[in-house]
Amino acid sequence: MIKQVEDILRDVRVCLDQNEADNALISNGDEETLMLDDIIRSKILESVDSVHLAAPYWMLEQGHNLRATIHWEPMECGYTLLPDDFLRLVVFEMSDWERPVHEAISTLSPEYKLQRSRIKALRGTAQRPVCAIGAKPFGKVLEFYSCKTTNATVSRAVYIPIAEIDANDGVDISEQCYAAVVYTVAAATLTTMGETQQAAALVEQANNLLQIAKQ
């Protein structure tokens, strides 16, 4: 869902109970002032990324397909190069897997050590596949473990990109995450204004929305 920055500003002001943004000027410590909208705008992208990382996978939108070119490695595992704007995996599935993967592990995870085992049975399998976010000299990659044969192809590969403001002043936000984004932006704005107690309350509201969704 593409949400216009103007609409985000409005919704955050409502959340802050600030209908008159012109009256809200904050000193930045360098003898300059920032309009409330400028502070809000500066918090949008980091807040969108924060919420997208914390949300359960099913709240995330499915529109960003990963152009996965498979590079095979021994024991029917492999990897695909990730785009520069990769933030989070939504789903990855090979054609001979019995179920998809929604959460990729880190190379620092104890489970990752098993994926490098010489014993294939200890690795992810077609019945219980595993994906990991790794790094190669040429960039970040999604590693997968493993397939029955190297004839397998990619069935689904979807990711969430790092948030950005596009040429039309819009931001791509998963629709079901939008309320949590508004609370998170509002909290970050209040923190900048020195209202830490109120900010904490809004952070809790945002977290509650995501925690309820995970149940």
> Tens of pLDDT along 95-115?
999 999 999 999 999 999 999
Tell me: pLDDT of 78 over 50: yes
Tell me the per-residue pLDDT of 26-65, one tens digit each, with 9 for 90 and over: 444 443 335 889 999 999 999 999 999 999 999 999 889 9
Contact 136, 107 (CB under 8 A): no
The whole-angstrom separation of Cα 20 and Cα 23 is 6
Which is more confident, 213 or 175? Answer: 175
Q: Domain-by-domain residue ranges, the chain?
A: 2-59+174-214, 71-161
- Model confidence, pTM: 0.88
Give the model confidence (pLDDT) of 128-182 as tens digits: 999 999 999 999 999 999 999 999 999 999 999 999 999 999 999 999 999 999 9
The answer to whether the CB of 97 falls within 8 A of the CB of 126 is yes
Contact 191, 201 (CB under 8 A): no
CA–CA gap between residue 62 and residue 59 (Å, rounded): 9
Residue 14 pLDDT greater than 60, yes or no: yes
